[in-house]
């Protein structure tokens, strides 16, 4: 294991619990460069989506024990999402069904695969309350790791951070977006085991606007007590920071088809590596490999993913087997 980096190990690892959004992704792939303020001819595709839904489905396909706590409407979309989770071997006992329409993410995608704009309707913030999670406390206590997204309310994230710290369960937060990432600032830094921002989210977390101040932003967060930061840098790869040390990993040149869900796939790969007792470097490589595959297809998850395929991808992209 390189340097002083280490992983939080359990002798017997329980399930990974994913808490947050499960929604329907409706993606509109524009046939030509998008023009604002007018109709753009597009191809539409529909996929299961939402940060923790994407993470959970990848983890389930990789063979990890995984639970999801999320909110679905009592409608056809909700039934479809629940079936997609079960098909991926995700335990769905934590799903809450409500008398509302299941959430949706509608995105307009440029011909180069990058997101132009999107709109999202999600139920998690309103129904995943501390009171609801308190009712699920016994199931949460057996978790080896808790992953949450910032679609949750600040009140719920605060409850989870305190619960995780008290229970000594690693708590990982996916920032989701620049405005939503700011919720993390209000949490005790010592209660958050790892965050996974991109560069814009990193600056937001540090309260900065200048796009050239990444090093300073990292210093600010580390001085506050944020120990583990996995910074995603797009085509430049990623860097894992831990207590002042850093471990960079380059990306591979790719033809991007759709960027939706690449960060979620990376997080799932990293968590799978952690679960299998990989080094940090190997966990990063596995995360990159899953993200690479997602970037080269339409949709946010890999339907034919297995542990064997994931390990083969590590060998393909980075020339080593775990």
**Confidence check: pLDDT of 10 > 50:** no
Mean pLDDT to the nearest integer, 258-280: 93
What pLDDT is recorded for position 301? 82
Contact 199, 231 (CB under 8 A): yes
In this predicted structure, which of 172-181, 249-258, 281-290 has the lowest mean pLDDT? 249-258
- pLDDT digits over 46-68, tens only? 999 999 999 999 999 999 999 99
CA distance 311 to 295: 18
Hey, what domains does the chain have and what are their CATH numbers? 16-22+51-100+123-318 (3.40.1190.20)
CA distance 191 to 33: 44
CA distance 187 to 164: 12
Give one DSSP letter per residue of 119-163, joined into a string.
EEE-SHHHH--HHHHHHTHHHHHT-SEEEEETTS-HHHHHHHHHH
CA distance 198 to 30: 25
- Separation of CA 236 from chain center: 19
Residue 152's alpha-carbon distances to 20, 94, 120, 129, 275, in angstroms, are 6, 15, 14, 8, 25
What pLDDT is recorded for position 259? 81
- pLDDT digits over 305-320, tens only? 999 999 999 999 998 6
SS3 59: helix
Contact 145, 283 (CB under 8 A): no
CA distance 121 to 108: 15
Mean pLDDT to the nearest integer, 16-31: 95
**Confidence check: pLDDT of 93 > 80:** yes
Angle (nearest 5°) at CA 208 between 203 and 210: 90
CA distance 104 to 50: 9
- How many angstroms separate the first and last alpha carbons of the chain? 12
List b or e across 200-237, with b for residues whose CB sees 16 or more CB atoms inside 10 angstroms. Answer: ebbbbbbeeeeeeebeebbebbbeeebbbbbbbbeeee
Mean pLDDT to the nearest integer, 131-142: 96
Mean pLDDT to the nearest integer, 32-43: 95
What pLDDT is recorded for position 7? 43
């Amino acid at each position: 294991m390189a340097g002083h980096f280490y992983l939080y190990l359990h002798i017997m690892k329980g399930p990974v619990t994913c808490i947050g959004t499960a929604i329907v992704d409706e993606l509109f792939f524009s046939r030509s460069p998008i023009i604002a303020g007018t109709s753009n001819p597009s191809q539409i595709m529909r996929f299961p989506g939402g940060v923790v839904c994407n993470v959970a489905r990848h983890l389930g396909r990789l063979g990890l024990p995984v639970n999801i706590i999320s909110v679905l409407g009592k409608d056809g979309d909700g039934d479809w999402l629940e079936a997609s989770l079960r098909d991926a071997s995700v335990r769905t006992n934590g799903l809450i069904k409500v008398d509302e329409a299941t959430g949706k993410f509608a995105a307009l995608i440029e011909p180069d695969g990058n997101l132009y704009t999107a709109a999202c309707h999600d139920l998690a913030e309103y129904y995943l309350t501390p009171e609801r999670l308190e009712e699920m406390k016994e199931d949460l206590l057996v978790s080896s790791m808790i992953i949450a997204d910032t679609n949750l309310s600040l009140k719920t994230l605060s409850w989870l951070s305190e619960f995780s710290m008290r229970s000594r369960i690693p708590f990982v937060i996916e920032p989701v977006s620049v405005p939503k990432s700011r919720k993390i600032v209000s949490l005790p830094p010592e209660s958050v085991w790892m965050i996974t921002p991109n560069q814009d989210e990193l600056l937001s977390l540090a309260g900065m606007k200048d796009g050239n101040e990444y090093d300073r932003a990292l210093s600010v967060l580390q001085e506050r007590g944020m120990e583990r930061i996995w910074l995603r840098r797009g085509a430049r790869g990623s860097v894992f920071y831990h207590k002042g040390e850093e471990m960079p990993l380059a990306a591979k040149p790719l033809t991007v088809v759709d960027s939706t869900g690449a960060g979620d796939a990376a997080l799932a790969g990293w968590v799978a590596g952690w679960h299998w007792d990989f080094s940090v470097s190997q966990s990063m490589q596995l995360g990159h490999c899953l993200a690479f595959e997602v970037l080269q297809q339409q949709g946010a998850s890999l339907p034919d993913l297995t542990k064997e395929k994931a390990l083969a991808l590590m060998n393909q992209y980075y020339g080593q087997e775990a």
